[in-house]
Amino acid sequence: MDERYSRQTLFSPIGVGGQAHIRQKHILLLGAGALGSANAEALTRAGVGKVTIVDRDYVESSNLQRQQLYTEQDVEDKLPKAEAAKQHLHAINHEVEVEAIIMDASAQTLEPLLDDVDLIIDATDNFETRMIINDLSQKLQIPWIYGACVGSVGMTMTILPGKTPCMNCLMKTIPVQGMTCDTGGIISPAVTMVVAHQTAEALKILVEDWESVRPTLVTFDLWRNQYQTIKLTKAKRKDCLSCGEQRTYPFLNPENRTKTAVLCGRDTVQVRPSKPLKLQLGKLAKDLQGSGYLIKVNPFLLSCEKDGERMVVFEDGRALIHGTKDIVHAKVLYQRILG
């Protein structure tokens, strides 16, 4: 066995046989931000066979505080995150095949990528994409590892189709709405903690040590010194439309996705959630003001502006993104604020 992985193979749950398994496996990493770049680096160093990275964004200076794979030169070059990650990962371990895909993830664009994927790692910044991952995971029987963090809080969970509850089973347990990094900020140790759990779970799955896969949802708050694990065994639902007895994979249905449209004659994109929300505009205004946004709010709508980009958000979750006709860019701005 290559000396490169000697310390990893000395760890008996992996060993030489486990390392051989790792070398044969293909991981899809959805998102190349804080969680994605750190997972990609750890698994590339571990010697995984192939890593496919999907991301729609490019490297910005605000990323460097917590997205450890990127450099100031990436910001200067305005490199897409997936491509920047590929270049750095190749320099770390040229034996690992890294594929960079620069695109906005959807059910239609993701499913063709999953033919030979052994594991999906969630490193996204919005719940809608996670639910698409969940349904594709159940449909194609591919394990996936959920992870999220904001402020000093993080959570992670491993989902094994046919064995564990899926994300749709847990919709009442895991909050769909909440702060984002743009509204609540984030500290890098929270990222590191989530990644440590995700990467450890990934290695268990890659070496096929199914008995060691953690069956709980982990949540923590590093600033308040809180750590909790929640048993999920009884949460699996027979009537779940994603993993139950009469599954329909609802989040693969176009009707359940965010709607976008360029407004005729205007430099504006309208974004609508799949279902109307009931936003607390006052609370949202307070969160955004703390993040440097210029805010105007009334009982009907909130206008926020930062770095020359302006968005108007309505109580039902609909938003107008001014100053662009780029639908993908509009969705990025929308999800930065509303998650």
pLDDT for residue 250: 93
Q: Quick one: pLDDT at residue 183?
A: 73
What's residue 307's pLDDT?
83
Q: Residue 90: pLDDT above 90?
A: yes
Q: How far apart are CA 110 and CA 19, in angstroms?
A: 28
Q: What is the mean pLDDT of the chain?
A: 90
The confidence score (pLDDT) of residue 177 equals 47
User: Residue 177: how many CB atoms within 10 A of its CB?
Assistant: 13
Q: Give SS3 for 194.
A: helix
**Which tokens belong to 111?**
């499913």
pLDDT-based confidence at residue 178 (cuts at 50, 70, 90): low
Residues 166 and 159: beta-carbon distance below 8 Å: yes
Mean pLDDT of 78-91: 94
Distance of CA 90 to the CA centre of its chain: 22
pLDDT band at 173 (very low <50, low <70, confident <90, very high): low
Mean pLDDT throughout 192-209?
98
Domain residues of the chain, as ranges?
3-252, 258-338
Instruction: Note the Cα 158 to chain centre separation in Å.
Output: 13
Kindly report which listed range (3-17, 158-172, 201-215) carries the lowest average pLDDT score: 158-172
Q: Model confidence over 255-308: pLDDT tens digits?
A: 777 778 777 667 888 888 877 788 888 888 888 888 788 999 888 789 899 888
CATH code of the domain occupying 258-338: 3.30.310.10
Q: What is the pLDDT of residue 192?
A: 96
Q: What are 312-337's pLDDT values in tens digits?
A: 998 888 889 998 888 888 888 888 88
Each residue of 20-35: pLDDT tens digit?
Answer: 999 999 999 999 999 9
Residue 130 · residue 156 · CB < 8 Å:
no
Burial category of 130 from C-beta neighbours within 10 Å (exposed 0-12, middle 13-18, buried 19 and up): buried
Q: What pLDDT does residue 95 have?
A: 95
- CA 238 vs CA 167, 198, 246, 247, 250: distances in Å: 14, 27, 8, 9, 15
Q: Is the pLDDT of residue 172 over 50?
A: yes
CATH code for the structural domain at 3-252: 3.40.50.720
Residue 227 half-sphere exposure toward CB, CA atoms < 13 A: 6
Task: Give me the half-sphere count of Cα atoms (radius 13 Å) on the Cβ side of residue 228.
Answer: 11
Mean pLDDT to the nearest integer, 4-19: 96
Between 270 and 40, where is the model more confident? 40
pLDDT score recorded for residue 44: 98
Mention every residue, 6+ apart, whose C-beta is less than 8 A from residue 200.
Answer: none
66: nearest Cα among 170, 190, 213? 190
pLDDT of residue 318: 86
Q: In the chain, what percentage of residues exceed pLDDT 70?
A: 96
